[in-house]
Structure 1
Amino acid sequence: MATYVFRHKVGDIDAWLKGHEDRVRLFAPASNGFRTFQDADDPKSILLVVDSDDIEKLGAIINDPKIQHIKDTHTVLEPITMSLEVKL
């Protein structure tokens, strides 16, 4: 299991927050859960901490053009950046 951090901005934080259950269902095939954070100094900047055993599948879900309508509904703004844990 690995932990990944995804960051992106949203156009409407209320619309994005209402989409939580959609994200749970969307990420379920490639995730063992996620936590949601909001930047303290920018309420439209979102960070998801995702636990996944299959990052390729998760990336395919996030980048699938078929889910663009979900991104639009939730006002997700590109780019979506991904960070990995650095093993020291």
Structure 2
Amino acid sequence: MTTVVGTHAVGNMDTWLGGGESRKAVFATFCSRYRIFRHSDASKVSIVWEDVDLAKMQATLGAAETAAAKAKHTVIDPVEIYIEIEGSA
């Protein structure tokens, strides 16, 4: 299990922030916990997922249901993904 960071823009921050319960359900399929960081000036967020099952994450993020949720919550692609380098700390 590893830590992954995802960063993306949002079309409407209030709409995106309102989707918290939906995100919680989606993220529970591939990680044990997550934290969200909001850019101080731009409509961008970064999400830190912990204890990620990478295969489950890939399947979940590629699912049609996830694409629909992204559209509903105004996620703007691309979602940049950064995977922790083991032993880097």
Same-fold call, TM cutoff 0.5? yes
User: Residue 29 of structure 1: SS of its match in structure 2?
Assistant: coil
Aligned-partner Cα distance in 2 for 1:85–1:31: 14
Moved more, 7-16 or 78-87: 78-87
Work out the CA distance in 2 between the residues paired with 1:5 and 1:71: 17
1:16 corresponds to 2:41: no
The runs of 5 or more residues in structure 1 that have no matched partner are: none
TM (normalized to structure 2)? 0.88
The residue number in structure 2 matching 1:82 is 81
Rounded to whole Å, the distance in 1 between the matches of 2:56 and 2:11 is 26
The equivalences for 1:7-86 within 5 A come to: 7-42=7-42, 44-86=43-85
Unaligned runs of 5+ in 2: none
Task: Tell me the amino acid that sits aligned with residue 81 of structure 2.
Answer: M
How many matched pairs? 87
RMSD: 1.3
CA contact (8 A) 2:4 2:52 kept: no
CA distance in 1: counterparts of 2:58 and 2:16, whole angstroms: 20
Following the alignment from structure 2 to structure 1, what is the Cα–Cα distance between the partners of residues 3 and 48?
Answer: 7
Aligned identity (percent) is 31
Specify whether residues 52 and 11 from structure 1 end up closer, same or farther in structure 2 by C-alpha distance, changes over 3 A only: same
Q: Secondary structure at the match of 2:56?
A: helix
CA–CA distance in structure 1, aligned partners of residues 2 and 24 of structure 2: 18
